[in-house]
Chains A and B, each alone.
Chain A
Amino acid sequence: MDQFTINLLFVGASFALYIGIAVWARAGSTSEFYAAGRGVHPVTNGMATAADWMSAASFISMAGLIAFTGYDNSSFLMGWTGGYVLLALLLAPYLRKFGKFTVSEFIGDRFYSPTARLIAVICLIVASLTYVIGQMTGVGVAFGRFLEVSNTLGLLIGAVVVFAYAVFGGMKGVTYTQVAQYVVLITAYTIPAVFISLQVTGNPLPMFGLFSEHTASGQPLLERLDQIVDELGFNEYTVHHGDTLNMVLFTLSLMIGTAGLPHVIMRFFTVPRVADARWSAGWALVFIALLYLTAPAVGAMARLNITELMWPEGTDGQAVSVEQIADDPEYDWMATWQTTGLLGWEDKNGDGRIQYYNDADADMQARAEEEGWEGNELTNFNNDILVLANPEIANLPGWVIGLVAAGGIAAALSTAAGLLLAISSAVSHDLVKGRFKPDISEKGELLSARIAMAGSIVLASYLGLNPPGFAAETVALAFGIAAASIFPALMMGIFTKVNNHGAVAGMLTGLIVTLVYIFLHKGWLFVPDTNSFTDADPLLGTVKSTAFGAVGAMLNFIVAFTVSKMTTPIPQEVDDLVESVRVPKGAAAAAADH
């Protein structure tokens, strides 16, 4: 059986599973559609949250970003897990107690203001839609590569599948489908990592392998890696090279954004009790940590493998020859990925060998002159191919490659579905029912939710075909918006007595300032060449646009407190609402009222 058939088989079987579950769990009433009838166990909910959370960015992209940058990209690891602490301590239990369906409903009731609710809905829709565009781009790349179809066709197939189970299944379908997706994606991520860890260090657990001895050299793995990349003029892997302030703000933005993203917060509406909401956040992080503890090992080991493949005699010997790349089966993956345009090499000096080194480094330039090299000849290595190409690089069997294909697709699809659900409930519940047509029937509300979902997938697929930027940049915008607008409003709603004017002014400030800062660096509405600054030389000191969400959030807090101090305090019934949200007692009653 050739690799194409194997990939098709694995991806096809996983699809059949997800669609089967979605059909089996078809939603009936509105309550079931949104919150799975509030009957989801914390462990099940945690697993579904994990699948929802870990998108193409976590599965496909993150280990590659760490591999080629090293320590400085630890921000992704700390940021995307640390946000769960904020969720569990500051938001989840209270929002569950509040007992409504959506995040904006809480903001509207707590700040007794339809305007606040409307702004929250806009923030939610903008953040979720931007995020889903990135996912659809990922869906297109993964399908295109593994089904060997064009990027466009891959994206369209993916869109149809997401539509099928998200629209017809609702939350219950999504919850159980996502449990299945979690199992597929974590298996697909872990199996190749275990194989590679065994090959490189002899330790079957990648998270320990990372800190073990490199079998071939007898040195600790990370020491070996630092040495070998340093000898080629690259930054040492474990050393901090970037700007510290930017790293702190970027990590903080990812954390706050995690706690402010509506599709994750919504998960905590689906558990039976407040106590379960607390446990759910913990379980979600357990399942997320399984991947996040493995990812840095995957990155470091892949970087070492690739470097050694390019220098089979060691960094002071001869580089790999062009013939060996063409003939040796160990190098087959290079030809496979070359066809995608994401990997490229060129024998610039015509010596029949491919020298891979940092040609911007002064010491390496001296050596290049001596040896007659004319620049780095591994001309293109897209970070995003690392995880998908990893099993091929390590010469693992065909079924592992098929499994990774299915896992990458599961990661992208599950997040896209969760986001679509968040968007559809914001539109149908908050906009249509909450603002334009309060007397709408339950059937009509369900219909408008499905229309909203279909509409957003069409829009997201269209924008996914012509993405406003790289997927990672698009995702960073989503985090920035959520961090600067939603999270502060929710937190102040629970922990302070900030009033309606304060919340509205705060959210608007956070949203607008963050959007403007991002557009200034990435182009207005992402139109190329309309930017006035670049992330290499940002407007404010060293703060890149990806890290600005944390600044936007601080401005939100400051403006909200100031405005609130100068205007009328909150009325008694809202004061009572805040007091009641703070204690778990009566959560079942709050849910039944609805």
Chain B
Amino acid sequence: MALTEQEKESARAYWKTNVRIILISLVIWALVSFGFGILLRPMLAGISIGGTDLGFWFAQQGSILVFLALIFFYAWRMNKLDAEHGVGEE
């Protein structure tokens, strides 16, 4: 299925925005798991929660909750973006 020049231009802008949203999401993804959950845990050691520290919570529960939020945010944001650029499905 061939696209017109105008459609191609719109598709390129759409893709650029998509990649930016993905990058921001992946930074958060890495921050809560590899960051707060593992590497930055010593820095969060002062913040206590239920008998342990915040890093432990992120490693065992917090990161999972953030992952969920990220996926739903992405789905919502991209479906909106599809409509803005007219590249969505009916």
Do the two chains belong together in a single complex?
yes
**Chain B residues with CB below 8 A from A90, complex form:** 22
Q: Is B59 within 8 A of A78, CB to CB? A: yes
Interface centre among B22, B56, B87 (most CB of A within 10 A): B56
Q: Is B71 within 8 A of A211, CB to CB? A: no
For residue A585, CB closer than 8 A to chain B, the reply is: yes
User: Interface-forming stretch among A240-248, A463-471, A500-508, A515-523?
Assistant: A240-248
Q: Is B75 within 8 A of A275, CB to CB? A: yes
Secondary structure dominating the interface of A: helix
Q: Is B89 within 8 A of A587, CB to CB? A: yes
For residue A257, CB closer than 8 A to chain B, the reply is: no
User: Complex Cα distance A580/B68, Å?
Assistant: 28
With contacts A275-B89, A281-B71, A282-B72 known, is A211 near B63, CB below 8 A? Answer: no
Q: Is B49 within 8 A of A211, CB to CB? A: yes
- Which bucket holds chain B's interface residue count? 35 or more
Secondary structure dominating the interface of B: helix
Q: Is B89 within 8 A of A584, CB to CB? A: yes
User: Complex Cα distance A350/B52, Å?
Assistant: 39
**Chain B residues with CB below 8 A from A495, complex form:** 19
Q: Is B89 within 8 A of A273, CB to CB? A: yes
Rounded to whole Å, the gap between the CB of A61 and the closest CB of chain B is 17
Q: Is B87 within 8 A of A584, CB to CB? A: yes
User: Complex Cα distance A240/B26, Å?
Assistant: 25
Interface centre among B3, B33, B51 (most CB of A within 10 A): B51
Q: Is A585 within 8 A of B71, CB to CB? A: no
In the complex, which of the residues B18, B49, B59 contacts A74, with contact meaning CB atoms closer than 8 Å? B59
Q: Is A212 within 8 A of B50, CB to CB? A: yes
**Chain B residues with CB below 8 A from A278, complex form:** 71, 74-75, 78-79
Task: List which B1-48 residues lie within 8 A (CB) of chain A.
Answer: 1-3, 8, 11, 14-15, 18-19, 22, 25-26, 29, 33-34, 37-39, 41
**Chain A residues with CB below 8 A from B85, complex form:** 583
User: Complex Cα distance A89/B26, Å?
Assistant: 9
In the complex, which of the residues B11, B50, B65 contacts A583, with contact meaning CB atoms closer than 8 Å? B11
With contacts A248-B39, A583-B11, A586-B1 known, is A77 near B64, CB below 8 A? Answer: yes
**Chain A residues with CB below 8 A from B53, complex form:** 238
In the complex, which of the residues A82, A88, A238, A282 contacts B52, with contact meaning CB atoms closer than 8 Å? A238
Q: Is B38 within 8 A of A251, CB to CB? A: yes
Q: Is A584 within 8 A of B88, CB to CB? A: yes
Q: Write the residues of chain B forming the contact surface with A, with a CB cutoff of 8 angstroms.
A: 1-3, 8, 11, 14-15, 18-19, 22, 25-26, 29, 33-34, 37-39, 41, 49-53, 56-57, 59-61, 63-65, 67-68, 70-72, 74-75, 78-79, 82, 85-89
Q: List 22 A-B contacts (CB under 8 A).
A: A84-B71, A85-B25, A88-B71, A89-B70, A93-B78, A220-B52, A226-B51, A275-B89, A278-B74, A281-B75, A282-B71, A285-B68, A289-B64, A289-B67, A579-B8, A580-B3, A582-B14, A583-B15, A583-B85, A584-B87, A586-B1, A587-B89
Question: Which 6 A-B residue pairings sit nearest by Cβ, starting from the closest?
Answer: A220-B51, A211-B50, A223-B51, A278-B75, A74-B59, A222-B51
